[in-house]
Amino acid sequence: MANIAEQPRKVAIICSHGGLDEAYPALILANAARQADIEAFVFFTFWGLDVVTEEKVDHLHVNMVGNASSPMPTMLMGLPGMEAFAGKKMTKQMAEIDLPGPREMLKILDESGAKLYACELAMRMFKREKKDLVPEVAEVITAGDFYDMAEGAQIIFT
Protein backbone atom coordinates (compact mmCIF):
# COMPACT_ATOMS: atom_id res chain seq x y z
CA MET A 1 0.00 0.00 0.00
CA ALA A 2 1.04 3.50 -0.65
CA ASN A 3 1.85 5.40 2.50
CA ILE A 4 -1.18 7.59 3.03
CA ALA A 5 -0.12 8.56 6.53
CA GLU A 6 2.89 8.04 8.73
CA GLN A 7 1.14 5.63 11.09
CA PRO A 8 -0.41 2.37 9.85
CA ARG A 9 -4.08 2.48 8.86
CA LYS A 10 -6.56 1.26 11.42
CA VAL A 11 -10.33 0.61 11.54
CA ALA A 12 -12.65 0.13 14.50
CA ILE A 13 -15.88 -1.60 13.61
CA ILE A 14 -18.89 -1.60 15.92
CA CYS A 15 -21.27 -4.52 15.43
CA SER A 16 -24.53 -3.72 17.22
CA HIS A 17 -27.00 -6.11 15.59
CA GLY A 18 -27.29 -9.86 15.81
CA GLY A 19 -28.97 -10.76 12.54
CA LEU A 20 -27.07 -12.90 10.08
CA ASP A 21 -27.36 -10.18 7.46
CA GLU A 22 -26.31 -7.57 10.02
CA ALA A 23 -23.28 -9.48 11.27
CA TYR A 24 -21.71 -10.07 7.88
CA PRO A 25 -20.92 -6.47 6.93
CA ALA A 26 -18.89 -6.07 10.11
CA LEU A 27 -17.09 -9.39 9.67
CA ILE A 28 -16.37 -8.90 5.97
CA LEU A 29 -15.16 -5.36 6.44
CA ALA A 30 -12.82 -6.41 9.23
CA ASN A 31 -11.48 -9.26 7.12
CA ALA A 32 -11.02 -7.06 4.08
CA ALA A 33 -9.12 -4.58 6.24
CA ARG A 34 -6.74 -7.27 7.42
CA GLN A 35 -6.20 -8.46 3.86
CA ALA A 36 -5.28 -4.92 2.88
CA ASP A 37 -2.81 -4.71 5.75
CA ILE A 38 -5.07 -2.43 7.77
CA GLU A 39 -5.23 -2.96 11.51
CA ALA A 40 -8.76 -3.91 12.50
CA PHE A 41 -10.80 -4.56 15.59
CA VAL A 42 -14.46 -5.28 16.06
CA PHE A 43 -16.53 -4.25 19.05
CA PHE A 44 -19.59 -6.43 19.59
CA THR A 45 -22.30 -4.69 21.55
CA PHE A 46 -25.98 -5.12 22.29
CA TRP A 47 -27.58 -7.62 19.95
CA GLY A 48 -24.26 -7.84 18.16
CA LEU A 49 -23.16 -9.84 21.18
CA ASP A 50 -25.10 -12.77 19.75
CA VAL A 51 -22.57 -12.99 16.94
CA VAL A 52 -19.82 -13.92 19.41
CA THR A 53 -22.00 -15.93 21.80
CA GLU A 54 -21.17 -19.61 21.64
CA GLU A 55 -24.78 -20.78 21.69
CA LYS A 56 -26.06 -18.27 19.17
CA VAL A 57 -23.39 -17.85 16.53
CA ASP A 58 -24.47 -20.89 14.54
CA HIS A 59 -28.13 -19.93 14.61
CA LEU A 60 -28.20 -16.29 13.61
CA HIS A 61 -31.49 -15.35 12.03
CA VAL A 62 -32.51 -12.93 9.35
CA ASN A 63 -35.35 -10.59 10.17
CA MET A 64 -37.17 -9.63 7.01
CA VAL A 65 -40.00 -7.67 8.64
CA GLY A 66 -39.82 -4.09 7.50
CA ASN A 67 -37.12 -4.97 5.01
CA ALA A 68 -38.11 -3.40 1.73
CA SER A 69 -35.74 -5.73 -0.12
CA SER A 70 -37.49 -8.79 1.23
CA PRO A 71 -38.74 -11.01 -1.56
CA MET A 72 -41.82 -11.88 0.48
CA PRO A 73 -44.66 -9.69 1.73
CA THR A 74 -44.00 -8.23 5.18
CA MET A 75 -47.25 -9.78 6.38
CA LEU A 76 -45.88 -13.28 5.69
CA MET A 77 -42.47 -12.54 7.10
CA GLY A 78 -44.06 -11.92 10.49
CA LEU A 79 -45.22 -15.51 10.78
CA PRO A 80 -43.55 -17.60 13.49
CA GLY A 81 -40.31 -19.22 12.45
CA MET A 82 -39.88 -17.03 9.40
CA GLU A 83 -36.68 -15.38 10.57
CA ALA A 84 -35.16 -18.78 11.24
CA PHE A 85 -36.24 -19.92 7.80
CA ALA A 86 -34.79 -16.82 6.15
CA GLY A 87 -31.59 -17.34 8.14
CA LYS A 88 -31.23 -20.89 6.94
CA LYS A 89 -31.96 -19.90 3.39
CA MET A 90 -29.33 -17.19 3.52
CA THR A 91 -26.82 -19.56 5.12
CA LYS A 92 -27.41 -21.94 2.27
CA GLN A 93 -26.93 -19.26 -0.33
CA MET A 94 -23.72 -18.20 1.37
CA ALA A 95 -22.48 -21.77 1.40
CA GLU A 96 -23.25 -21.95 -2.30
CA ILE A 97 -20.86 -19.12 -3.10
CA ASP A 98 -18.42 -20.61 -0.59
CA LEU A 99 -18.77 -17.76 1.88
CA PRO A 100 -17.66 -18.93 5.33
CA GLY A 101 -20.27 -19.05 8.11
CA PRO A 102 -20.13 -16.57 11.00
CA ARG A 103 -18.15 -18.89 13.24
CA GLU A 104 -15.58 -19.56 10.55
CA MET A 105 -15.39 -15.86 9.74
CA LEU A 106 -14.59 -15.16 13.41
CA LYS A 107 -11.83 -17.77 13.30
CA ILE A 108 -10.39 -16.32 10.10
CA LEU A 109 -10.50 -12.83 11.63
CA ASP A 110 -8.72 -14.03 14.73
CA GLU A 111 -6.05 -15.84 12.71
CA SER A 112 -5.54 -12.89 10.42
CA GLY A 113 -4.76 -10.71 13.40
CA ALA A 114 -8.00 -8.77 13.84
CA LYS A 115 -8.99 -8.22 17.46
CA LEU A 116 -12.49 -8.99 18.69
CA TYR A 117 -13.99 -7.37 21.79
CA ALA A 118 -17.28 -7.73 23.61
CA CYS A 119 -19.14 -4.87 25.30
CA GLU A 120 -19.08 -5.03 29.06
CA LEU A 121 -22.42 -3.31 29.58
CA ALA A 122 -24.20 -5.53 27.07
CA MET A 123 -22.67 -8.58 28.76
CA ARG A 124 -24.18 -7.52 32.07
CA MET A 125 -27.49 -6.71 30.49
CA PHE A 126 -27.81 -10.07 28.77
CA LYS A 127 -26.31 -11.84 31.80
CA ARG A 128 -23.52 -13.41 29.87
CA GLU A 129 -20.02 -14.23 31.01
CA LYS A 130 -16.76 -14.44 29.15
CA LYS A 131 -17.07 -18.23 29.08
CA ASP A 132 -20.35 -17.92 27.14
CA LEU A 133 -18.49 -16.27 24.27
CA VAL A 134 -16.50 -17.86 21.46
CA PRO A 135 -12.78 -18.20 22.26
CA GLU A 136 -11.84 -15.71 19.54
CA VAL A 137 -13.08 -12.81 21.70
CA ALA A 138 -9.93 -11.30 23.20
CA GLU A 139 -11.46 -9.24 25.97
CA VAL A 140 -14.59 -7.71 27.45
CA ILE A 141 -14.17 -3.94 27.36
CA THR A 142 -16.17 -0.81 28.15
CA ALA A 143 -17.15 1.95 25.75
CA GLY A 144 -14.38 4.07 27.22
CA ASP A 145 -11.81 1.35 26.51
CA PHE A 146 -13.17 1.25 22.97
CA TYR A 147 -12.42 4.92 22.42
CA ASP A 148 -8.93 4.49 23.81
CA MET A 149 -8.25 1.69 21.40
CA ALA A 150 -9.91 3.39 18.46
CA GLU A 151 -7.62 6.35 18.65
CA GLY A 152 -6.35 7.14 15.20
CA ALA A 153 -8.75 4.62 13.66
CA GLN A 154 -11.61 5.06 11.26
CA ILE A 155 -14.78 4.01 13.05
CA ILE A 156 -17.43 2.02 11.23
CA PHE A 157 -20.84 1.41 12.83
CA THR A 158 -22.94 -1.45 11.56
Question: Any contact of residue 76 with another protein (CB under 8 A)?
Answer: no
CB 109 within 8 A of CB 117: no
Among residues 60, 152, 145, 73, the alpha carbon closest in space to that of 105 is found at 60
Q: How far is the CB of 99 from another protein (least distance, A)?
A: 6
Q: Which is nearer to another protein, 45 or 53 (CB)?
A: 53
Q: How far is the CB of 8 from another protein (least distance, A)?
A: 10
d(CA 91, CA 130): 27
Would you call 112 helix, strand, or coil by DSSP?
Answer: coil
Stretch that binds another protein, among 43-51, 104-112, 121-129, 145-153 (CB under 8 A): 104-112
Residues with Cβ within 8 Å of residue 149, at least 6 apart in sequence: 12, 41, 117, 141
Q: Which is nearer to another protein, 111 or 125 (CB)?
A: 111
Q: Which is nearer to another protein, 89 or 124 (CB)?
A: 89
Among residues 91, 122, 71, 93, the alpha carbon closest in space to that of 23 is found at 91
Would you call 118 helix, strand, or coil by DSSP?
Answer: strand
Question: Any contact of residue 78 with another protein (CB under 8 A)?
Answer: no
Chain contacts with another protein (rule: CB under 8 A): 1, 28, 31-32, 34-37, 58-59, 88-89, 91-92, 95, 97-101, 104, 107-108, 111-113
